[in-house]
Amino acid sequence: MGTSSGSLTYRTVYTIDPLESASGSFTADVSSLASGTTYYYQAFMTVSDGNGGYNEITSASVGQFTTSTNVPGIPTGWLELPAVTGSEDYVGAFYGSGGNTEANRNYSYNYSYTYYASLWTAYPLTKALKTGSASTSSWRYNPNIDNNKQVSITANSYGTMYGNNNYSRGHQCPNADRKSDDTMNLQTYYATNQTPQLQTNFNQGIWSSLEDAERALVTTDDAVVYVVTGPAYRTVGHSETIHYLTGATGKNANPTQLPIPNYYWKAFLKVKWSGNQVTEASAIGFWFEHKTYSSDSYTNYAVSVDYIEQMTGFDLFTNLPGTQTSGIEKSAEANSSWDTFRNF
């Protein structure tokens, strides 16, 4: 898919579900399109070769469609969103099977072509969103970004592509937070929603425990927690050494040298409303060095959102009333007590 009929390499879009036979119809969701723009597409049918690859068996002629002039762009008012400065490589948003509506939003992300990772991923979490049986467990490329700008671990693990089994494909927006909708769950398995995370005693340890605690915050139908999470490679004003995974011999790994995050962080927000106005808010952050943790609690790494902002340079929860120096945003982002936040 692309904006030129002669070159369709800009975006690759996959069907929602595999076809059961060589006939019939299929659909594919496309998000983050520009308004008033003509897009061209060509359909291909492929079959697995049994070794993690695919063979093309047929293709269709090029078709086209034009988006309307009121297709929404990147939203600006959602409470989970950090400030967007315009200097980002790519900022996008995904929606579930109900279409591009505010109530149907999945997650937003700030993707870096340099690090092959989303530097922040932001999403709302509710009891309804985490409840259901949606399950994908199949990694694929983000259809909105050129495949060459994404790490090549969709069909294989880091152990296969980079010869290092210590790292897993760690979700930023967890798949367990999106169990209510097949499309939302599928979108959590895009390569742009993962980073190389230490598997033992991090991804399946302290980080997993924090994600469980995140879901435990929304046990009633009206509860909403706004989440933003990400990796960090260097902190503001510092020049930490960045280590890399190297492509395995005989594997066409992209990139051949993949940066490994030095830190991981999460920030949570809860608010109280009067009509359409936020009247109170509480936030909390968590900051981890990317290392193994044995018998350690995530609560020991609670920090204020102010601290995360200082470390990353991001302006989180920018749509709260007030500013970083006054009002509701200031007071919410100063809290560093997990108990205070949890009981808000």
Sketch the domain layout of the chain as residue ranges.
Answer: 1-71, 90-342
Topology classification of domain 90-342: Extracellular Endonuclease; Chain A (3.40.570)
Contact 334, 326 (CB under 8 A): no
Please report the pLDDT score of residue 337 as a whole number: 98
Contact 89, 114 (CB under 8 A): yes
Contact 170, 121 (CB under 8 A): no
User: How far is residue 238's CA from residue 229's CA, in Å, rounded to a whole number?
Assistant: 21
Please report the pLDDT score of residue 52 as a whole number: 55
Please report the pLDDT score of residue 311 as a whole number: 98
Please report the pLDDT score of residue 69 as a whole number: 40
User: How far is residue 18's CA from residue 280's CA, in Å, rounded to a whole number?
Assistant: 46
Q: What are phi and psi of 216, to 5 degrees?
A: -70, -10
User: How far is residue 336's CA from residue 225's CA, in Å, rounded to a whole number?
Assistant: 16
Please report the pLDDT score of residue 23 as a whole number: 62
Q: How many CA atoms lie within 13 A of 156 on its CB side?
A: 20
Count of beta carbons in the 10 Å neighbourhood of residue 260: 20
In order of 172, 224, 257, the CA distances from 124 in angstroms are 13, 7, 33
- Tokens, residue 308: 């995360």
Contact 260, 245 (CB under 8 A): yes
Place of tokens 């671990």: 153
Please report the pLDDT score of residue 17 as a whole number: 54
- Find residue 268's DSSP bridge partners: 227, 284
Sequence-ordered list of residues with C-beta below 8 angstroms from that of 307, at least 6 positions apart, any chain:
285, 287, 336
Enumerate residue ranges in the chain where pLDDT < 50.
32, 35, 68-72
Contact 111, 122 (CB under 8 A): no
- Tokens, residue 239: 């020049």
